[in-house]
Amino acid sequence: MDEATHKKRFKPINIRDLFMGKNPRLARWIPGFIYRLLSRILRIDFMNDPILYNHGYKKDVDFARASIEAFNVTLKVLVNDLLPNESYKHRNKHFVITFGKPIPYQTFDKRFTPLKWAAHVQEYTYSLVENPKGAFKYLNKPS
């Protein structure tokens, strides 16, 4: 879908509608101020306008990059450390987020256990700080 079509069809996130879609009987009993409070806490207006309305038609890495730009963050951290802790309060901070090269699924054969493969991927992820263009490498023999 292109940008113009997306903006014509855009339907913003509405907390009450989400509850109604999941459990209409319960949703009718929740007072309006609870929905407004949840919308404020979750920053739904911020998610709707600068992010979803303007960039919701983008996919994958393009959407991720646009979302990061909307937060206007510029603090260099590892993505593994960022994801559980990034929030609205980090807006206008300095972040550098590095997307490594895709790792083909065929790479993950039976030579290592899933736990060992995860360790190799983790090592690669952390190496991106020093070498953002580096390719995924692993040991040829199990350790």
- 23 with 91, same domain: the answer is yes
Count of domains for the chain? 2
Please, which pLDDT band fits residue 38 given cuts at 50, 70 and 90? very high
- 73 with 133, same domain: the answer is no
Q: What is the pLDDT of residues 61-80, one digit of tens each?
A: 888 888 888 887 767 554 55
Average pLDDT for residues 24-37, to the nearest whole number? 94
Select, from the ranges 13-17, 69-73, 119-123, the one with the highest average predicted confidence (pLDDT). Answer: 13-17
- 86 with 136, same domain: the answer is no
Residue with tokens 């009993």: 29
Asked if residue 24 has pLDDT above 90, the reply is yes
- Alpha carbon distance 125, 100 (integer Å): 7
- 72 with 42, same domain: the answer is yes
- 89 with 74, same domain: the answer is yes
Count other Cβ atoms within 10 Å, centred on residue 117: 16
Q: What is the pLDDT of residues 80-109, one digit of tens each?
A: 555 555 766 667 777 677 778 888 888 899
Asked if residue 132 has pLDDT above 70, the reply is yes
- Structural domain that includes position 69: 3-97
- 46 with 12, same domain: the answer is yes
Q: What pLDDT sits at residue 48?
A: 92
How is residue 121 written in tokens?
């991927």
Distances (CA, A) of 46 to 13, 50, 67, 87: 10, 6, 11, 12
- 61 with 16, same domain: the answer is yes
Environment class of residue 56 by beta-carbon count within 10 Å: exposed (0-12), middle (13-18) or buried (19+)? buried
Please, which pLDDT band fits residue 56 given cuts at 50, 70 and 90? very high
